[in-house]
A and B are shown apart, each in its own frame.
Chain A
């Protein structure tokens, strides 16, 4: 009857645990409570589920639960051809859909060993930077809304909409453009593209001071953001943070500078670095990054070379046997695309290294000990896009 004895021991154990005199489970005090933020909550911008242990207003632990919008994009890509799988990646980080497509196209081109015409390269970079501005504009508005300021959201959307209109005219869609194809871009630029981009830059420059008036300089906003959610440079590296989240902590990690792709090495722009590591630094990195994107667009918009916008590729693409990796800087950080090919028309395995996943992992670390209201600000400045995390 040895087995029975084991069960009896376990039974005794549970009794001890239920004893009120026993010390409570570690980390969970008597006055603590657990609240579920999400999967349907106004602050999570999607279906993120955070299980938060609170002591009054103070956060003791944050545990993200993922998978509510998992669509197995990686598995899906294995059954799609190299031309087809690119469009699926628009659905990962839908705010920088263009840059996701760019990463995939780069990876396929690397395998095919094709040269991209210079015109296509410039168009790709222009579109990337426009997407980056659009993404940061949306982030700005949404983050202001998290902090309770509703008005900047609509002001930011005014600029974002004008970018979307440009996208709609050239790519044919506003959000999931699917403009990148292996070997170049799908269509040539729309004839009025240059003029509209110039109009947009004029609009942006005439309105950019409004954000400073309404947010950056505002005393309430500064108090909410400064010294909140401090992430040190070491932690940013060890958690694998990339993009503005890491650059806010002073970690130089801009793929455009470190591993230049397309024509980025010929362009003049600064890698934006802030050393504070708090929410305000992350905010400032994104705001200044928008200006750098404007700077890149200014350099390119009048110097788009003539020529083809696409290299002719075969109707059915086949990558040689091997492994291919490409990385780009999306609006949220480094996106890596890893393709394992067996020489067939479809990839054997695809892995995406999405920036949102690593950036989310830091949330528990920086949120501990701060107030519930700060968590919202931190989530805002991490700029989480949930489909990017779940894929």
Chain B
């Protein structure tokens, strides 16, 4: 029964190959299954989830006020030295000297989007933005100052 076994073997092999070809043939004829996203074309409809960690930003309200007290918690929490807080002395309403942030320097090129700074911030001054197209031609552009020029700390945030 050598011949029979030989033929059975061949038939089994051919059947297994045909099964695979049926699968690829199915996808060849069913274009609805295509999962490609045409990225630069679908920018308008591209919805990133609100938790997506793209870059650190500092939200400002309409009076150009932010919530950062300059407590340096984010600077300490950052594993890579991405954030640097630079202070200035400011006179408050009563004429007293008060420490406030001059610049909150953020190095996007060092950031690994680990979210530890946002977790550490006690006053919710910074958050993650959903941007992801970070390519620039000059690496200096990646060093960002998060607070707007002339911005102040919001009233009531300690």
Contacts and interface: CB of A to CB of B under 8 A. Distances in A.
The reply, when asked whether chain A contacts chain B directly with Cβ atoms under 8 A, is: yes
Given A169-B51, A172-B53, A186 B115 contact: yes
Contacts of A172: 49, 51-53, 113, 115, 128
B114 interface: yes
The residue in B48, B73, B79 that gathers the most chain A C-beta atoms within 10 A of its C-beta is B79
Contacts of A173: 52-53, 113
B63 interface: no
B77 A83 contact: yes
A191 to B, nearest CB: 11
Interface string B129-148: 00000000000000000000
A90 to B, nearest CB: 9
A168 interface: yes
Interface stretch (A25-33, A49-57, A60-68, A215-223): A215-223
Given A84-B79, A151-B24, A214-B23, A219 B52 contact: no
A190 B51 contact: yes
Contacts of B52: 168, 172-173
B16 interface: yes
Contacts of B12: 219
A210 to B, nearest CB: 6
B51 A83 contact: no
Sorting the interface of chain B by its residue count into under 10, 10 to 19, 20 to 34 or 35 or more gives: 20 to 34
Contact of A213 (B13, B20, B116): B20
B19 interface: yes
Given A87-B112, A170-B51, A173-B53, A218 B20 contact: yes
Contact of A219 (B17, B49, B77, B79): B17
Interface in A12-68: none
Interface in A139-175: 151, 158, 161, 168-173
Interface string B49-78: 101110000000000000000000100011
A80 interface: yes
7 contacts: A169-B49, A172-B51, A173-B52, A176-B113, A213-B22, A214-B24, A217-B19
User: Which 6 A-B residue pairings sit nearest by Cβ, starting from the closest?
Assistant: A84-B79, A172-B51, A219-B13, A87-B114, A172-B53, A169-B49
